[in-house]
Amino acid sequence: MTVTVHTPRRAADDPVPSSRLVTAVEPFTAALEAEWDALAHRVDAPPFLRPAYVRVRHAAFEEGAGFAVVTVRRDGILHGALPVADGTAGFGPPSNYETPLEGIVADDPAAMREVAATLMTLPAPRVVFTYLRAGGPSRAVIDAAVSAAGRRAYSRTTIRVPVVDTAGAWDDYWASRSRNLRHNVERCARRAREAGELVFEVHDAFEDGRLDALLQDGFAVEASGWKGAEGTAILADPRTRTYYTELAAWAAGEGWLRLAFVRLDGVAIAFCFGIEAHGVHYALKVGYEDRMKKLSPGMLLMRGLIQRSFETGLRSFDFAGHDAAWKSAWATGIDEYEGTLAFAPSVAGRASHARYRCRRWVADGPLRPALERAAARVRGGRRRTEEPPVKDPSASSPKAAGAALATATSIDADASVTRVESAG
């Protein structure tokens, strides 16, 4: 889809009252980034809705392709913003399997409604969201805008993320965990101390040159296990390495980066790449040293991170990845994220909808088993539907699924909940 960029009129040129909201689709520029960032700071928007995050992720994975921003202004002041781009799945926020969250940034409900309404009235045959927080501020206004625009929509839960409510006391939380979990963690800690000096550390300040050294250390740990063997580690893909390196630099500048390690005799045996902002710790990437898996360093890492979240006064620890049995042992709740496909009531929209229905019939109809077997033969093996078994389950990836799954398949299935499986 080609987006016509409209430059909003400033108050001096606008004949309507100054309280009027003016909407537009603007190119992403440095000036707009500054305005959007100021808006995000006013409302304490999550890190993943900040313009710099969108820029970093988009630059790493979209190979320089640009994106635009749906904006709402009053008296020339930005009051609402949503990044948009043309993707393989449709027109909407630029995102992929590394994206934790999508949504509108706005400082009042009217501005948020205007952003959603403007998006849905654009001539895009197919508008797509993949990671909207269920019950979040963007969800309801997007649904209302879809309905008002006469679009035909499909919504599905795309991912269920385990979280820990850390607003209480650590001792009460730890006592509420299963006896088996507590016993295993204490046993692993005892064995590790018998093997050498065990240290848990979290870095939140980075002197010149220190950040690069810590990232190199952490990325090597993350690549030492099954992720490295299967080619899904950060170091296996130059784009992913660029993404996490640039994300680290930006987050460190904001004071949000947290690099956590478990070390044995000074050697890193577990690592977590985390973002911590507005009372939430997001554990984006977790890995452990494969040679030390008998000590379950990933469990020791989780214990240290969650206990620290309680003791530093955070309100939540977010696993930032799909639900899994080992995470449920630690979690106190689940945050659901939803995707929406919205087809325009136009010729192009109806044609896109017909193609979508055809693909769903092929994917979920009687031919599916035969197609899956054929696809497996082409790939040279059976499709993996679960993470490979590991003795230390906490080393499983946070949120990842493969770009096609995250942008299309995740909301194309008939099931009410479609799991986004981890691929690294």
Dump pLDDT digits (tens) for 149-175: 999 999 999 999 999 999 999 999 999
* Rounded Cα distance, 48 and 140, in Å: 20
CATH number, domain of 107, equals: 3.40.630
Two structure tokens written together for 172: 């009460």
Specify burial of residue 378 (Cβ count, 10 A radius: 0-12, 13-18, 19+): exposed
DSSP-derived secondary structure for 279-336 = TEEEEEEEEE-GGGGGG-HHHHHHHHHHHHHHHTT-SEEE--S---HHHHHH-SEEEE
Same-domain check for residues 146 and 184: no
From CA 104, how far away is CA 100, in angstroms rounded? 14
Domain tally for the chain? Answer: 2
Neighbours of 208 (CB within 10 A): 6
Whichever domain contains 266, its CATH number is 3.40.630.30
Q: Over 50: is that where the pLDDT of 111 sits?
A: yes
Residue pLDDT, tens place only, 363-420 = 777 777 877 788 777 765 433 333 333 334 333 333 433 333 233 333 333 333 322 2
Please, what is the angle between helix 297-311 and helix 179-195, to 10°? Answer: 110
Q: Are residues 109 and 163 in the same domain?
A: no
pTM of the predicted structure, to 2 decimals: 0.82
Q: Is the pLDDT of residue 9 over 80?
A: no
Quick check: 383 and 376 in contact, CB under 8 A? yes
Determine the pLDDT at residue 420: 26
Q: Residue 88: which domain range?
A: 11-150
Helix %, strand %, coil % of the chain (to 5): 45, 25, 30
Same domain for 104 and 190? no
Q: What is the mean pLDDT of the chain?
A: 85
What pLDDT, on the 0 to 100 scale, is given for residue 40?
98
**Among the ranges given (183-187, 256-260, 413-417), the one the predictor scored with the smallest mean pLDDT:** 413-417
One domain, residues 260 and 401? yes
pLDDT score of 75 more than 70: yes
Mean pLDDT, range 128-150, rounded to an integer: 96
Mutual angle of helices 137-148 and 109-121, in 10-degree steps:
40
